[in-house]
Chains A and B, each alone.
Chain A
Amino acid sequence: AQKVTQAQTEISVVEKEDVTLDCVYETRDTTYYLFWYKQPPSGELVFLIRRNSFDEQNEISGRYSWNFQKSTSSFNFTITASQVVDSAVYFCALRRVNQAGTALIFGKGTTLSVSS
């Protein structure tokens, strides 16, 4: 079975704090893809990152960084020096590969609230 778990339902931080959003996944596939999306109050999903299973190199993009560890099946997301505009729901997703196509399996999301 394929599954994505985001154990943190809600996180509240004050501006400039660092925050890490956890994501743990389950899959039997040897090759898979992981994603992070941001969903602001407007509702539109914003693509943040795509990571292939064979590439465990961590990635940094501005204030965002991702830590992918296959040994623990985790793909955590850290926001450094958080800002109010970071307030949103963040979803971790796993790409499912089957005959029907390559849909995404989403975690339940983590709601991040950044206060000034």
Chain B
Amino acid sequence: GAVVSQHPSRVICKSGTSVKIECRSLDFQATTMFWYRQFPKQSLMLMATSNEGSKATYEQGVEKDKFLINHASLTLSTLTVTSAHPEDSSFYICSARDVKGWDTQYFGPGTRLTVL
């Protein structure tokens, strides 16, 4: 099946620093990728939709200047958490939409961010 990777899997950073998370579709092209956030024991909340070559569409309440998304190629989208604070600590999951086949989204393994 389709594979989506995320890097890094875990990251610990100091408050005020920026962290970049990469999401790659390894064996298919993804014109659309999605970024979700999951707090402990809670559901996944969509943060933004990323379309290759265009600006990301953010969900209501998500600060676009804080969560920078770049989708520069058909296999790579990046999420940068700028000036991270402890409340940004969360599990970030990306998914990539495979437009071929059954138009199913495949999820990455997630990135656990801890901001000290």
Contacts and interface: CB of A to CB of B under 8 A. Distances in A.
Contacts of A11: none
A107 B38 CA distance: 12
A30 to B, nearest CB: 17
B43 A91 contact: yes
Contact of B34 (A37, A99, A103, A108): A103
Contacts, number: 57
- Report the interface size class on chain A: 20 to 34
Interface string B25-51: 000000010100000011111100101
Nearest to B93: A45
B97 interface: yes
Interface string A69-94: 00000000000000000000001000
Secondary structure at chain B's binding surface: helix, strand, loop or mixed?
A: strand
A44 B112 CA distance: 11
Given A91-B43, A100-B57, A106-B43, A50 B107 contact: no
- Report the interface size class on chain B: 20 to 34
Interface string B73-112: 0000000000000000001010101000011111111101
A50 B93 contact: no
Contacts of A108: 42-43
Interface of A: 35, 37, 42-45, 47, 50, 91, 99-109, 111
